[in-house]
Amino acid sequence: MKKEHLHIVGSVIPGSIAEELGMEAGDAIAAINGNEIKDIFDYQYYTQEEYIEVLIRKPSGEEWLLEIEKEYDEDLGIVFENGLMDEYRSCHNHCIFCFIDQMPKGMRETLYFKDDDTRLSFLQGNYVTLTNLSDEDIDRIIRYNLSPINVSFQTTNPELRCKMLNNRFAGEALEKAWRLADAGITMNGQIVLCKGINDGDELERSIRDLANYLPNLESVSVVPVGLSKYREGLYPLEPFTQQDAKEVLSIIHKWQDKLYPEYGLHFIHASDEWYILAGETLPEEARYDGYLQLENGVGMLRLLIEEFGEAFDALHQNKKVQIPKKKLSIATGKLAFPFIEDMAKQVMAQYPQLQIHTYAIRNDFFGEMITVSGLLTGQDLSAQLKNQDLGEKLLLPQNVLKSGEAVFLDDMTLEALEKALQVPIDIVKSSGQDLLDAIVF
């Protein structure tokens, strides 16, 4: 017996088409234009037209056929209980660099789920290996013209890719990228670089091969493997040195200079960690091609610097603004700390009535080689800030918290940290404008 796909409405957005037509939480979508809806791909495709017929089933079992006229691509205003409208696909690979394998036991269960679901690439920007994609999935992506898709390449050497992903089909999956590129699907790529494995000549090969996907493959980021202190029994990986970082940047800059004149894109990008590790200056803004790889830490610091600089200049020129006297503190990961500290010094030099203490938080939870703020825990913040002068308030970057919740990675709540430190905490969004506003107002 064929399984019926019913998709339960979790909530209806006020003022939306769905609310106007009497749809409510608990209703189920059974079909659109007579088509069964398998997942979010189908739903978005079939609801984009100006006239659609939606078959819904009420909790009572009553069925309504709604005839809807709307603007092209106008959203119905439905939030489903399951955002994918289908089961999440877990990762079948056992990558030698997987960070989830490097996490300690006892954390919340959702943190250990390894997703490799292409639909999350479109919805949330996740990077996927393509090993979970069936031919039917490829056909639907092409048919629905879904873009962009973010692909974790790691290497274009098929045998090496099988080794790095511990999946004998990982090399074959690279052919799927060609099908997508040939169909005009936009992609962005990622290479997690592991010392002595896919760097050096292998990195050269990967960039050379991936450049053939241009212009449909718009960008590729190169990020260093993250190594926590929980690696017992895992593949032996070594951290990169300053000299290693310089060599990686040399390869990337060479290819940028080669590709930009022809394509108008620098294409291959190094994450911010490489420049800091190498002791080199961050590239100018134009080098980032519009910040296509921000989620991979490519250009995040440059963007923050530029936004903060513009906001600071505008504030200085606005003579009507009164800056009150106050003392506050900012805490962040060791990666961003020198840049945040420099911004704080700029503000204090201009406005002596402001006293700002900046703190670099060492990641004791995962290990000192993890330097990004997004992997800081409440317990590390609490332990290292407890006896510090925090002033009237403490500023923390938004990425220290679980998305949409006031909870840190280790399940400490924001309220618990405020209580432990005896200071109000402001969570600051990622822009330089937001940071400056949080400091001065």
Which residue matches tokens 């420049």? Answer: 275
Dihedral sign (CA 65, 67, 68, 72) = positive
**What's the pLDDT at 128?**
85
**Three-class DSSP labels, the chain:** CCCCCCEEEEEECCCCHHHHCCCCCCCEEEEECCECCCCHHHHHHHCCCCEEEEEEECCCCCEEEEEEECCCCCCCCEEECCCCCCCCCECCCCCCCCCHHHCCCCCCHHHHCCECCHHHHHHHCCCECCCCCCHHHHHHHHHHCCCCEEEECCCCCHHHHHHHHCCCCCCCCHHHHHHHHHCCCCEEEEEEECCCCCCCHHHHHHHHHHHHHCCCEEEEEEEECCCCCCCCCCCCCCCCCHHHHHHHHHHHHHHHHHHHHHHCCCCEEECHHHHHHHCCCCCCHHHHCCCCCHHHCCCHHHHHHHHHHHHHHHHHHCCCCCCCCEEEEEEEECCCHHHHHHHHHHHHHHCCCEEEEEEEECCCCCCCCCCCHHHCCHHHHHHHHCCCCCCCCEEEEHHHECCCCCEECCCCEHHHHHHHHCCCEEEECCCHHHHHHHHHC
What is the model's pTM?
A: 0.86
Q: If phi over 0 gives left and psi between -120 and 50 gives alpha, with beta otherwise, what is residue 422? A: left
Residue 66 burial (10 A CB sphere; 0-12, 13-18, 19+): middle
CA-based end-to-end distance of the chain: 63
Give dist(CA 273, CA 223) in Å, integer.
Answer: 8
Give dist(CA 184, CA 178) in Å, integer.
Answer: 10
Q: What's the average pLDDT block by block, 10 residues per block, for the chain (441 residues)?
A: 68 94 93 89 88 94 94 92 71 90 86 67 73 87 87 96 95 93 94 98 98 96 97 96 98 98 97 98 97 94 98 90 93 97 97 97 96 96 97 97 91 97 96 96 89
**What's the pLDDT at 398?**
96
**What's the pLDDT at 2?**
41
**What's the pLDDT at 184?**
94
Dihedral sign (CA 321, 325, 330, 336) = positive
Residue in 145, 121, 148 with CA at minimum distance from that of residue 133: 121
**What's the pLDDT at 123?**
57
**What's the pLDDT at 144?**
86
**What's the pLDDT at 45?**
86
